[in-house]
């Protein structure tokens, strides 16, 4: 960032003299300096008007050939022009790389993303690899338009709800102060009234009663103030609960709107984003739970097989009446004729001895876990 | 194939299927563990005896002790894994015989289940630890229960020859179940054979249904014609029927014996076993049947996409597997028809096994049936010190073994099935007096 | 069933040189690492009783930790347990008292339950994760933990309201479980609401396989003394010895009817009474509507003056309006007297009712009841197929905590 460094070197004078027209603040106390984020060369307002009013033009600073537009000139926020520039870059990058923590698979992935973003910012600030970094950024911006917009909207919403919450809290604080003031006044009034009451009673009564009357008056006061205090407590609790529920509501709002708008699971540039699950359309109910009834690969089951051994059964009305079903026998014998024909123990068993996983399988799953478990425990030695 | 997936969920596939190498390794491990234990147990028995004698006759000369030890160690000659297998094979055959003792004889499938129980049991146990004489009847009784052929224990005991009591039979039941890892289901090839035969008969009558993936290319009539033109060609459906019956019968015989008494169940699936046996019984018929399932050998014209055709790959692999299984089944010879083998067996069981039986495991009934009592006894023995009661019993056993060496080889198979340790112990006590 | 493997474990031993035996003993990580047998503690010297099978068993046993007792019956005790490695993974451990009173070794109930559950793996069948033995030769079945009670509980609880969509969901899960059993050629033979347990996620699981057996072999007699009476089909009441999957389908029909009515549909107080109640409800079996029925061993000729005609579709629709016309049709096919005309489990699932409105409730939205844990303990301690002769079923299996033995 050579231009910035130049500027930095003459900073002291620049406050007073426009580097372009050399007019000085001394002569013109109203003079205002402006910068353009293209090159961050500072010049006075009248120079800007003069040079850029008729359209884009080159920066008048010697050696800087950036084309500048008038509408992009603005006032400097930070005294240090380097900071100004970095903040601009940061703002721009963060507007594009605006992924949120909840979009990542893990905290780790999010941290990696933050690091990556810092690196990109640093690259742009320090001018390393600018061309590539810029093009990456542009490509990302183009590819992830929807997600960027959605997250921007979310941020805006959060910011506004934060503001709302702040004003709400301020309002509450004001109300609390008001209440405290009122309370104090009430207390004072009551105390005065009580004192007057005691005085009038003393005036009316016999002198011997004075102590008793004073004691009584004090008691009444205490009672009143303790009742008031518990009432205040209740109100305070109520308010606290209200605040909490408000906060919770806000949180929920954020969560529900945080649903991803972008479906491109991996953005190319950023790794570790959660795969976006578009809710699957509800499948029709499958009474068989995913299994296919009567599916056979080695044979086609018939309704009848000639078999003299079974003929007596076909004639035996008693067996028939009991429900004995030859179809079940056909089905079973043929199933057993082929179940495992294509299981090559030699291959599969040696495979399961090698492909061992961790020691113990959770007993939650069924067949898959059972198979996995069979090939587990102590197997590392088996391969030796 | 869906049928294969179904088989993969069976406990037989999950727990009781092995490669040849893993089977061998497992047996070697079992053998070496058991041998170590037998040696240790016999040594303990000896030490106990020695300390007992030394306490009565005074201190023996130092040095002779060590010599004795070395000599004894040499004497304790354990079975090799191969010898153990011979023993198990023999008792597997005995189960078939034992099943004949009942009226009606026990169903083939019950006996087959029992044999597989016995074989599974001796994958992780050694005959040196538990004598098959004791385990065999228990395995058979357990099979009657798990295969729905229920006899009461009393009824069952009546069929077991010798003085084996019901308690002797049931004593190792829990031990057997534990060794079976509480899986009782055995998938046999018998029912599959029936299915295949049934389908072949249907084909011979023109009612054969081609396999789903070959549906459009074959009709029942094609299948029938192809079957009837098999070499040696049989002209009519009737002769074909007879041929199927013959093949059915001889396949079944192979399944009843060879398939049981070899490692077939550990190495192959039931579907592969029956088809391998069928190949031995009638190769052309079996090959024809396989072709109806997997398509015939690919003709050269369509050879371009051999490798892409999954059916072709399956067929190639399957034929190798079936050939291996057939060879295994064919190599089986029953003990009765193999004099040399019988002779070796007699040597193994009669002499060697007799001397390397683990004395601490002899009395299963005492050990396993009343565990509390056994624990109490063990505690008492521990309290009494090294020369406790159980030790001295072991010592006597070992001694008795020496005395009676070689004299008892003939009576080992037929007679009493369960070792009568207690009786022997009494006898031996008499001798010693 | 997750079982630690035979070979890998054993081979790890074989791989380690000559004193494989020693390695094996120390290999489990349970025993303190004694390097050699001879230098080990005195008890180990005394009790070198860890055979390979025992070691394998220990490996399984030490995977689980027993927590509290959930229930106890004469036949079994059920504990809540969890995986040692993961305290949040609950299991139910059913400890069967082996030496209870049965002198012929392990009882048939236990054998059947273990045998068949070892082979079945389906979302609607209670999963058997492991089996191991504990001291005193007790058999421990590590079962899936089903904390939400059973269907009977839901049916009886008048505070729980449910509708046709819920019934459809439950029936669908039941029918899938039964179908899967039959696909594996296993009859359950004791289907009833209190054998249908509910998992934490609402899935219904078929439990208690103490009366199960494999079927389909010709000429093999099976016992007709199975299935709790109210759910027992007429062919078994008539003493049929050769029967089919249709027996379970009848029971399913009875469960269906009970879910709709919220009381048992045909609840006889004896086998004879059961037959007559069935006749009254569905019609009198005759040679016309059920060929061969008169030849069944225990057939009782009907009173010729009181022949109830076979009930038609309109009867079912009238009796079970909540099921709707399609549902009534399905129920009718489950409750057909002649077992050969009854639908098979597969045909039941192919029925149009499942796809008709209303859609079955999603399992997570099904009505639920708390306190099912004790119920599971209760259900699992019952002896398989216990035929409750007492008028109301729960009375027969009061918990017997006083008689706790271990």
Question: Is residue B396 predicted with pLDDT exceeding 70?
Answer: no
Q: B40 with B175, same domain?
A: yes
Residue B158 lies in a domain: yes
Q: C345 with C287, same domain?
A: yes
The Cα–Cα gap between C142 and A363 comes to 9
Range in A179-188, A252-261, C50-59 the model is least confident about: A252-261
pLDDT value for B31:
92
Q: B27 with B150, same domain?
A: yes
The better pLDDT of the pair B163, C284 is held by C284
Residue C382 lies in a domain: no
- Contact map slice: B 346-385 vs A, CB within 8 A: none
Chain B contact set for A311 (CB, 8 A): none
A345 interface with B at CB cutoff 8 Å: yes
Contact B16, B266 (CB under 8 A): yes
Question: Is residue B30 predicted with pLDDT exceeding 80?
Answer: yes
- In angstroms, the Cα distances linking B163 to A49, A199, B416 are 123, 119, 6
- Answer yes or no: do C21 and B184 touch at CB < 8 A: no
Contact C383, C75 (CB under 8 A): yes
Label residue C347 by pLDDT band (50, 70, 90): very high
Question: Is residue A253 predicted with pLDDT exceeding 80?
Answer: no
Q: B30 with B107, same domain?
A: yes
pLDDT value for C375:
74
Q: C72 with C160, same domain?
A: no
- The residue ranges of DSSP E strands in B185-274, in sequence order, are none
In a mutational test of the C interface, the residue from B118, B119, B145, B182 whose CB has the highest number of chain C CBs within 10 Å is B182
Q: C155 with C140, same domain?
A: no
Nearest-CA distance B266 → chain A (Å) = 9
Which residue among B3, B202, B207 sits closest to A339, beta carbon to beta carbon? B3
Range in A163-167, C167-171, C343-347 the model is least confident about: A163-167
Label residue B378 by pLDDT band (50, 70, 90): very low
pLDDT value for A273:
77
The better pLDDT of the pair B355, A308 is held by A308
pLDDT value for A224:
62
The residue range of the domain holding B108 is 13-47+76-186+338-367
Residue C173 lies in a domain: yes
The better pLDDT of the pair C300, A26 is held by C300
Tell me A43's DSSP state.
E
Residue C313 lies in a domain: yes
The better pLDDT of the pair B132, B388 is held by B132
Q: C65 with C162, same domain?
A: no
pLDDT value for C297:
94
Residue of C nearest to A290 (CA): C176
- Answer yes or no: do C4 and A329 touch at CB < 8 A: no
Contact C174, C367 (CB under 8 A): no
Range in A170-174, B159-163, B306-310 the model is least confident about: B306-310
Label residue C70 by pLDDT band (50, 70, 90): confident
Nearest-CA distance C235 → chain B (Å) = 21
- Answer yes or no: do A295 and B195 touch at CB < 8 A: no
Residue B424 lies in a domain: no
Residue C372 lies in a domain: no
Q: B178 with B193, same domain?
A: no
Nearest-CA distance A181 → chain C (Å) = 53
- Answer yes or no: do B371 and C10 touch at CB < 8 A: no
- Answer yes or no: do C52 and B33 touch at CB < 8 A: yes
Q: Is CATH 3.40.50.10320 the classification given to domain A15-76?
A: no
CA angle (A108, A110, A112) in 5-degree steps: 70
Mean pLDDT, rounded, of chain C: 81
Q: What CATH number does residue B32 fall under?
A: 1.10.472.10
Q: C78 with C157, same domain?
A: no
The better pLDDT of the pair B287, A220 is held by B287
The better pLDDT of the pair A8, B100 is held by B100
Q: What CATH number does residue C327 fall under?
A: 1.10.510.10
The better pLDDT of the pair C115, B361 is held by C115
In a mutational test of the A interface, the residue from B4, B293, B317 whose CB has the highest number of chain A CBs within 10 Å is B4
Q: B83 with B149, same domain?
A: yes
- Answer yes or no: do C119 and B10 touch at CB < 8 A: yes
A235-258 mean pLDDT: 50
Chain C contact set for B124 (CB, 8 A): 6, 10, 51-53, 56
Label residue C107 by pLDDT band (50, 70, 90): confident
- DSSP-derived 3-state class of residue B100: helix
Q: B207 with B171, same domain?
A: no
Where, residue-wise, is CATH 3.30.40.10 in chain A?
Answer: 15-76
Q: B133 with B83, same domain?
A: yes
pLDDT tens per residue, range A49-64: 888 888 888 888 888 8
Q: What is the pTM (predicted TM-score) of this model? A: 0.69
Residue C359 lies in a domain: no
Residue B6 lies in a domain: no
Nearest-CA distance C287 → chain B (Å) = 32
Residue B420 lies in a domain: no
Q: B25 with B151, same domain?
A: yes
pLDDT value for B28:
93
Distance of CA A361 to the CA centre of its chain: 34
The Cα–Cα gap between A242 and A158 comes to 20
Nearest-CA distance B182 → chain A (Å) = 15
Residue C45 lies in a domain: yes
> In chain B, how many domains are there?
2
Residue B4 lies in a domain: no
Contact B6, B186 (CB under 8 A): no
B176 interface with A at CB cutoff 8 Å: no
In a mutational test of the A interface, the residue from B18, B189, B194, B208 whose CB has the highest number of chain A CBs within 10 Å is B194
The Cα–Cα gap between A101 and A260 comes to 12
Question: Is residue C266 predicted with pLDDT exceeding 90?
Answer: yes
- Contact map slice: C 129-188 vs B, CB within 8 A: 131-133, 135-137, 139, 184
B196 interface with A at CB cutoff 8 Å: yes
Residue set of the binding site of C: 70-78, 94-95
The better pLDDT of the pair C13, A108 is held by A108
The Cα–Cα gap between C406 and C137 comes to 13
Question: Is residue B380 predicted with pLDDT exceeding 70?
Answer: no
Which of C107, C124, C144 represents a domain boundary (last residue)? C144
Q: Which chains reach chain B with 3 or more Cβ–Cβ distances below 8 angstroms?
A: A, C
pLDDT tens per residue, range A284-333: 899 999 888 888 888 989 999 998 899 999 989 999 999 999 999 999 99
Range in A280-289, B20-29, B48-57, C380-389 the model is least confident about: C380-389
In a mutational test of the A interface, the residue from C4, C8, C203 whose CB has the highest number of chain A CBs within 10 Å is C8
pLDDT value for A143:
83
Question: Is residue A264 predicted with pLDDT exceeding 60?
Answer: no
Q: B206 with B94, same domain?
A: no
C218-235 mean pLDDT: 94
pLDDT value for A221:
62
Residue B423 lies in a domain: no
Residue C308 lies in a domain: yes
pLDDT value for A210:
67
Question: Catalytic residue positions of C?
Answer: 190
Question: Is residue B83 predicted with pLDDT exceeding 70?
Answer: yes
- Answer yes or no: do A296 and B3 touch at CB < 8 A: yes
Mean pLDDT, rounded, of chain A: 76
Question: Is residue B219 predicted with pLDDT exceeding 80?
Answer: yes
pLDDT value for B296:
67
Residue set of the binding site of C for ATP: 70-78, 94-95
pLDDT value for A276:
65
Q: B182 with B94, same domain?
A: yes
The better pLDDT of the pair A194, C117 is held by C117
Q: B20 with B82, same domain?
A: yes
- Answer yes or no: do A306 and B1 touch at CB < 8 A: no
The residue range of the domain holding C15 is 6-144
Question: Is residue B202 predicted with pLDDT exceeding 50?
Answer: yes
B158-172 mean pLDDT: 88
The Cα–Cα gap between B138 and B382 comes to 31
What the block records as the tokens of A282 is 């509800």
Contact B224, B203 (CB under 8 A): yes
- Answer yes or no: do C56 and B181 touch at CB < 8 A: yes
The Cα–Cα gap between A366 and B235 comes to 53
Q: Which residue has the tokens 């010898």?
A: B83
Range in A38-47, C328-337, C385-394 the model is least confident about: C385-394
Question: Is residue B368 predicted with pLDDT exceeding 50?
Answer: no
- Contact map slice: A 319-338 vs B, CB within 8 A: 330, 332-338
Q: What CATH number does residue C20 fall under?
A: 3.30.200.20
Q: B42 with B151, same domain?
A: yes
User: Residue B144, exposed/middle/buried by CB under 10 A (0-12, 13-18, 19+)?
Assistant: buried
pLDDT > 90: what percent of chain C? 58
Q: Which helix (H) or strand (E) holds C92?
A: strand C86-96
The better pLDDT of the pair B363, A180 is held by A180
The better pLDDT of the pair C160, A259 is held by C160
Report phi then psi at B387, rounded to 5: -95, 40
> In chain C, how many domains are there?
2
CB environment C196-226: b (16+ within 10 A), e (fewer)? bbbbeebbbbbbbbbbbbbbbbbeeebebeb
Chain A contact set for B10 (CB, 8 A): 340
pLDDT value for A127:
84
Q: C331 with C267, same domain?
A: yes
Q: C133 with C244, same domain?
A: no
Q: C298 with C334, same domain?
A: yes
pLDDT value for A374:
34
pLDDT value for C371:
63
Which residue among C51, C118, C136 sits closest to B183, beta carbon to beta carbon? C118
Mean pLDDT, rounded, of chain B: 79
Residue of A nearest to C200 (CA): A364
Distance of CA C96 to the CA centre of its chain: 15
pLDDT value for A371:
33
Q: Which residue has the tokens 């509980």?
A: C153
The better pLDDT of the pair A223, C282 is held by C282
pLDDT value for C53:
83
The Cα–Cα gap between A12 and B348 comes to 109
Residue B346 lies in a domain: yes
Residue C364 lies in a domain: no
The better pLDDT of the pair A65, C238 is held by C238
């Amino acid at each position: 960032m050579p231009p910035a460094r130049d500027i930095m070197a003459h900073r002291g004078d620049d406050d007073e003299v426009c580097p372009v027209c050399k007019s000085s603040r001394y002569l013109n106390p109203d003079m205002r300096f402006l910068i353009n984020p293209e090159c961050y060369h500072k010049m006075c307002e009248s120079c800007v008007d003069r040079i850029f009013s008729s359209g884009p033009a080159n920066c008048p600073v010697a050696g800087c050939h950036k084309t500048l537009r008038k509408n992009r000139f603005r006032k400097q926020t930070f005294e240090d022009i380097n900071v100004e520039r970095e903040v601009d870059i940061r703002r721009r990058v963060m507007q594009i790389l605006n992924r949120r923590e909840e979009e990542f698979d893990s905290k780790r992935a999010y941290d990696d993303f933050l690091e990556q973003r810092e690196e990109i910012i640093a690259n742009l600030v320090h001018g390393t690899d600018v061309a590539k970094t810029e093009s990456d950024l542009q490509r990302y911006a183009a590819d992830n338009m929807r997600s960027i917009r959605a997250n921007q909207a979310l941020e805006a919403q959060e910011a506004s709800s934060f503001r709302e919450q702040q004003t709400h809290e301020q309002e509450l604080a004001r109300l609390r102060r008001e209440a405290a003031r009122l309370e104090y006044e009430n207390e004072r009034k009551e105390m005065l009234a009580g004192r007057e009451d005691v005085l009038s009673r003393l005036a009316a009564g016999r002198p011997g009663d004075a102590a008793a009357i004073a004691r009584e008056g004090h008691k009444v006061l205490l009672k009143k103030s303790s009742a008031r205090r518990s009432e205040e407590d209740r109100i305070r609790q109520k308010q606290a609960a209200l605040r909490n529920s408000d906060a919770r509501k806000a949180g929920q709002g954020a969560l529900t709107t945080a649903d991803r708008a972008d479906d491109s699971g991996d953005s190319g540039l950023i790794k570790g984003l959660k795969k976006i699950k578009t809710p699957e359309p509800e499948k029709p109910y499958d009474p068989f739970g995913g299994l296919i009834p009567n599916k056979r690969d080695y044979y086609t089951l018939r309704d009848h097989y000639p078999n003299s051994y079974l003929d007596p059964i076909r004639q035996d009305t008693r067996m028939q009446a009991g429900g004995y079903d030859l179809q079940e026998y056909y089905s079973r014998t043929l199933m057993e004729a082929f179940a495992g024909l294509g299981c090559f123990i030699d291959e599969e068993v040696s495979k399961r001895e090698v492909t061992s996983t961790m020691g113990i399988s959770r007993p939650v799953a069924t067949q898959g876990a059972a198979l996995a478990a069979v090939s587990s425990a102590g197997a590392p030695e088996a391969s030796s | 194939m869906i049928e294969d997936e179904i088989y993969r969920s069976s406990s037989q596939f999950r727990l009781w299927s092995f490669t040849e190498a893993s089977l061998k390794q497992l047996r070697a491990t079992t053998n070496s563990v058991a041998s170590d234990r037998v040696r240790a147990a016999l040594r303990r028995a000896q030490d106990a005896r020695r300390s007992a004698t030394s306490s009565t006759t005074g201190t023996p000369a130092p040095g002779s002790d060590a010599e004795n030890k070395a000599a004894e160690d040499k004497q304790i000659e354990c079975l090799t894994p191969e010898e153990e297998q011979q023993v198990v094979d023999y008792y597997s055959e005995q189960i078939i015989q034992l099943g004949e003792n009942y009226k009606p004889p026990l169903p083939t499938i019950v006996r087959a289940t029992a044999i597989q129980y016995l074989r599974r049991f001796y994958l992780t146990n050694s005959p040196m630890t538990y004598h098959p004489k004791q385990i065999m009847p228990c395995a058979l009784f357990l099979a009657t229960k798990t295969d729905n052929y229920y006899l009461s224990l009393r009824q069952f005991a009546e069929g077991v020859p010798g003085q084996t009591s019901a308690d002797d039979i049931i004593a190792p039941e829990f031990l057997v179940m534990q060794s079976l890892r509480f899986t009782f289901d055995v998938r046999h090839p018998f029912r599959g054979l029936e299915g295949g035969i049934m389908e072949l008969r249907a084909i011979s009558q023109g009612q054969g249904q081609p396999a789903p993936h070959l549906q459009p290319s074959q009709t029942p009539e094609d299948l029938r014609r192809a079957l009837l033109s098999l070499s040696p060609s049989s002209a009519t459906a009737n002769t074909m029927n007879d041929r199927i019956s013959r093949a059915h019968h001889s396949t079944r015989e192979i399944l009843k014996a060879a398939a049981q008494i070899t490692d077939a169940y550990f190495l192959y699936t039931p579907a592969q076993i029956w088809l391998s046996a069928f190949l031995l019984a009638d190769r052309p018929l079996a090959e024809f049947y396989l072709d109806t399932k997997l398509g015939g050998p690919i003709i050269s014209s369509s050879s371009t996409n051999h490798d892409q055709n999954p059916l072709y790959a399956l067929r190639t692999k399957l034929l190798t597997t079936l050939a291996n299984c057939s060879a295994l089944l064919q190599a089986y010879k029953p003990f009765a028809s193999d004099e040399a083998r019988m002779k070796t067996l007699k040597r193994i069981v009669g002499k060697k096994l007799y001397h390397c039986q683990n004395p601490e495991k002899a009395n299963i009934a005492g050990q396993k049936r009343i565990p509390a009592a056994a624990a109490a006894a063990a505690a008492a023995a521990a309290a009494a010190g090294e020369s406790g009661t159980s030790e001295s019993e072991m010592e006597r056993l070992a001694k008795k073994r020496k005395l009676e060496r070689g004299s008892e080889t003939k009576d080992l198979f037929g007679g009493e099935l369960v070792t009568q340790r207690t009786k022997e112990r009494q006898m031996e006590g008499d001798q010693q007096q | 069933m997750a079982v630690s493997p035979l070979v890998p474990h054993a081979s790890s031993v074989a791989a380690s040189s000559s004193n494989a035996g020693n390695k094996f003993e120390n290999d489990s990580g349970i025993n303190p690492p004694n390097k050699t047998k001879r230098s080990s503690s005195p008890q180990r010297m005394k009790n070198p009783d860890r055979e390979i099978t025992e070691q394998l068993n220990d490996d399984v046993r030490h995977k689980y930790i027993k927590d509290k007792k959930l229930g106890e019956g004469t036949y079994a005790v059920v504990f809540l347990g969890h995986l040692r490695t993961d305290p949040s993974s609950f299991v139910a451990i059913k400890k069967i008292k082996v030496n209870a009173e049965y002198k012929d070794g392990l009882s048939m109930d236990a054998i059947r339950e273990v045998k068949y559950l070892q082979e079945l793996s389906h979302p609607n069948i209670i999963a058997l994760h492991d089996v191991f033995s504990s001291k005193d030769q007790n058999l421990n079945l590590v079962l899936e933990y089903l904390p939400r009670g059973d269907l009977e509980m839901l049916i009886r609880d008048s505070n729980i309201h449910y509708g046709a969509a819920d019934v459809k969901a439950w029936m669908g899960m039941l029918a899938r479980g039964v179908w899967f059993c039959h696909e594996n050629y296993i009859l359950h033979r004791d289907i009833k609401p209190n054998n249908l347990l509910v998992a934490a996620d609402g899935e219904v699981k078929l439990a208690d396989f103490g009366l199960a057996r494999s079927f389909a072999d010709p000429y093999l007699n099976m016992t007709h003394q199975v299935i709790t009476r109210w759910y027992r089909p007429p062919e078994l009441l008539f003493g049929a010895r050769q029967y089919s999957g249709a027996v379970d389908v009848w029971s399913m029909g009875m469960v269906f009817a009970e879910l709709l009515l919220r009381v048992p549909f045909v609840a006889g107080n004896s086998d004879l009474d059961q037959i007559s109640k069935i006749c009254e409800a569905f019609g009198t079996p005759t040679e016309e509507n059920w060929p061969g029925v008169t030849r069944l061993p225990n057939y009782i000729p009907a009173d010729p003056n009181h022949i109830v005609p076979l009930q038609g579709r309109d009867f079912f629709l009238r009796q079970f309006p909540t099921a709707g016309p399609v549902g009534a049709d399905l129920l009718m096919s489950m409750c057909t007297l002649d077992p050969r005309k009854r639908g098979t489990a597969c045909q039941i699932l192919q029925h149009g009712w499942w796809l008709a409105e209303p859609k079955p409730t999603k399992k997570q939205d099904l009505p639920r009841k708390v306190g099912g844990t004790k119920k599971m303990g209760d259900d699992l301690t019952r002896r398989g197929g216990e035929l409750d002769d007492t008028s109301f079923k729960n009375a027969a299996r009061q918990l017997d905590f006083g008689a706790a033995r271990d």
